[in-house]
Amino acid sequence: MKYILWLIVLLISGFLQYVLLLMVSACLVDSKRFYDKHNGYYRWLLNSSTWLLIFFGRIHFHTKGMDRIPTDQRFLMVSNHKSKLDPITTWYLLKDYDVAFISKEENFHVPFWGNIIRKCCFLAIDRENPRKAMETVNKAADLIKDDQVSIYVYPEGTRNFGEGLLPFHNGIFKIAQKANVPIVICGIRGADMIKKNAPFHRSDIYFEVLDVIPADEAKTMRCNDIGDHARDLMLDFIGQKEEEKKNVNLRTV
């Protein structure tokens, strides 16, 4: 019994030291600076702290097509977005690829994590200002060209609280065209159930690589055409393709 108590004390002490390390490291980050160099130490902090959510949230991943993700070059990755936990679970799932997300400004003010993602080259985007949004697109392309990170972005621009998909912001595909990299189209579902299930019930997240558009092909396509193709694949993945077709027919009658 004595040894078990000592083990518990050691575990609690180790956890508190880790939390302190996380807090101190986050405080050393300049929240007003744009970081254009990926930092492996802060990536480790991001992934290790996310592991706690994955473990205690009893999250189980079901993946398909992961072998299609390029391993010899950077890429732009896109998917649907229904849960605020989509990016958190996805960056852990893709921890071997050093993926940086384009996200709303508010996420960079989350205590500790907001600064940590800055050091991992995550980018804030102003969705209401087209000029600033294009600056973010250019920064993302530069990060890819400099071989710092791959970029993950949600074409819908924000979470979708309803069925189907929101209209796409197809300008984000210019990132791949400017950086001359492939576009990896993915689908994700299940993260919206974590809040309801954790910690007493497991949550199953399904993540699938739906298609990869080669760099040469992506560069010759119109952004709207890329968006239409990605949208069809995502709708099919979430089981809403036929429903959207019906809605389109109703609107055109």
pLDDT single digits (tens) 56-111: 889 999 999 999 999 999 999 999 999 999 999 999 999 999 999 999 989 999 99
d(CA 116, CA 100): 12
- Residue in the block written with tokens 């605020």: 84
pTM for this predicted structure: 0.90
Task: At 108, give phi and psi (nearest 5°).
Answer: -85, 0
d(CA 10, CA 253): 68
pLDDT lower than 50: segments of the chain: 245, 248-253
Provide the residue ranges of all domains of the chain, joining segments of one domain with +: 30-252
Helix or strand (DSSP H, E) at 151: strand 150-153
From residue 180, alpha-carbon distances to 12, 65, 76 in Å are: 48, 22, 10
Write out the two tokens for 189.
């579902």
- Residue in the block written with tokens 């990016």: 87
A 10 A CB-CB count for 65 gives 15
What pLDDT sits at residue 240? 65
Q: What CATH number does the domain located at 30-252 have?
A: 3.40.1130.10
Residues 6+ apart with CB under 8 A from 176: 75, 76, 182, 183, 213, 215, 218, 219
Write out the two tokens for 3.
């040894």
Environment class of 61 (CB within 10 Å of its CB; exposed 0-12, middle 13-18, buried 19+): middle
- Residue in the block written with tokens 């977005």: 81
What pLDDT sits at residue 127? 78
Q: Which residues pair with 206 in a beta bridge?
A: 62, 189
